[in-house]
Chain A
Amino acid sequence: MNERKGVRKIVVPGELIKEVGKPGNGVFVENGKMYSAYLGIVETRAGYVNVIPLSGCYIPKKGDKVIGKIIDIAPMNWVVDINAPYYAPLHVNDVPWHVDFGYTARYLSIGDVVLAKVSNVNELGQVWITLKEPGLRKLEGGHIIKISPFKVPRVIGKGGSMIQMLKEYTGCRIYVGQNGMIWISGSPEGMITVIKAIRMIENEAHTYGLTDRIKAFLEEERGEENGN
């Protein structure tokens, strides 16, 4: 990113895309011409032209790690809100505990937050999630914030650079779900800094040179803390 400042090219729904390549995600073809389906930014990758939406809801994909909130309890399963158009059931067979019929509320109750994996999605949009894998668990304490799922890659950064930087500067533990839910735990000052930084990333996700600006911001925040 050699000092390219400014903003990426934004397209609106129905706008003609002049980039050449095969139609990828977020575009549609009419009479041999490519048009954008979203309000988003154009990106060419591996010969495909994609439009990455600037906003929108999360579409679950198999294998995604997501953060969800329990919103309902049934005898054999929990219902989890994963910020997608559809709620996801979490079956008792998909949790690492042995749960007797009707005792689901002992393990997870309404309002609890879990780090889960999408185990299956079908064409009807039905989603199944699981907790039966190392690293997946109930998240206790901490703070949850929501961002647009399309901005998750920017929060993580290239090879995890951005998230690593946030963790180093603030000493917080952070989990980023692919669905745009972020769980933060740490000192109150650290959490406030992380939230501010993430909001900054969210607002400026479509600009160049973001990592440097976030770094400057974090330096400044840390400076203030030391000054006090």
Chain B
Amino acid sequence: MGIKADIKLIDDNGLRIDGRLPNQLRPIRMEVGVLERADGSAFIEWGGNKIVAAVYGPREAYPKHVQEAEKAIVRARYSMAPFSVDERKRPGPDRRAIELSKVISEALESVIFVEKYPRTSIDVYIEVLQADAGTRVAGITAASLALADAGIPMRDLIVGCAAGKIDGVVVLDLNKEEDNYGEADVPMAILPRTKEIALLQMDGDMTYEELKTAMDMAMEAAQKIYQMQVEALKKKYLEVE
């Protein structure tokens, strides 16, 4: 991963660059129903990440040849704003965005009752406004809230969470420096109720045991994020007097 540097990612007290413990998440804030025009929407701030997700549909799928006679198709689009990173990113889908769009679509499809809406498409737009590592998992977390907000039937919410390895230690939820100069990054999407895995990727090297520890860590954190998701969803409706 990245360039080898002489940065010390874990100090002598065992704390990380931003003062977190190895199994500590960055601060997360979620908000549901932020957009007026979309059928469902959510905003998430996850450390330095700022991401908006919007859902349209189910609506008739066009062009017609992409329709599936017995189920809805889920089309997620992950895109990064040109100003989301240090150096201006060329706008438009690149190799990475296309890949992430595909894996996110598949992860989301696994929780939606697609067979309820034949011939339709459910479109999810994930816009990264500010990136600070772990955008795909934050994007999935926000997309799941937006889907629930749009009133789409789902088996469960879906939680994204990443773990990784820095300076030989397995840690949870890498930030940008750790992602760039660390050894491995394992983004995961988890269904918190059944503890099923909807997405698992790995960038870098890890032993089998390290991977298992990382997955357990993410699994544990997923429950915490799930609680935040539930809170965010219920808050939208409880605030009304």
| Residues of A in contact with B (beta carbons under 8 Å apart) | 7, 10, 12-15, 26, 28, 30, 35, 37-40, 53-57, 85-87, 123-125, 148, 150, 203-204, 206-207
Contact = CB atoms under 8 A, between A and B. Distances in A.
A85 B233 contact: no
B175 interface: no
Report the 9 A-B pairs with minimum CB-CB distance, sorted nearest first.
A56-B151, A14-B156, A55-B151, A13-B154, A37-B153, A85-B58, A39-B148, A53-B151, A85-B120
A148 B40 CA distance: 12
Contacts of A125: 117-120
A86 B60 contact: yes
B157 interface: yes
A39 B149 contact: yes
Given A57-B39, A85-B58, A38 B119 contact: no
A123 B69 CA distance: 10
B119 to A, nearest CB: 6
A13 B154 CA distance: 6
Interface of B: 39-40, 57-60, 69, 111, 113, 117-120, 148-157, 191-193, 229-230, 233-234, 237-238, 240-241
A196 to B, nearest CB: 15
Contact of A207 (B119, B150, B240): B240
Given A35-B193, A86-B120, A125-B120, A55 B150 contact: yes
B150 A7 contact: no
Nearest to A14: B156
Nearest to B61: A85
19 contacts: A7-B238, A7-B240, A12-B233, A12-B234, A13-B148, A14-B193, A26-B153, A28-B155, A37-B154, A39-B148, A40-B151, A54-B151, A54-B237, A57-B57, A85-B119, A124-B69, A125-B118, A125-B119, A203-B240
A203 B240 CA distance: 7
A85 B59 contact: yes
Contacts of A35: 155-156, 193
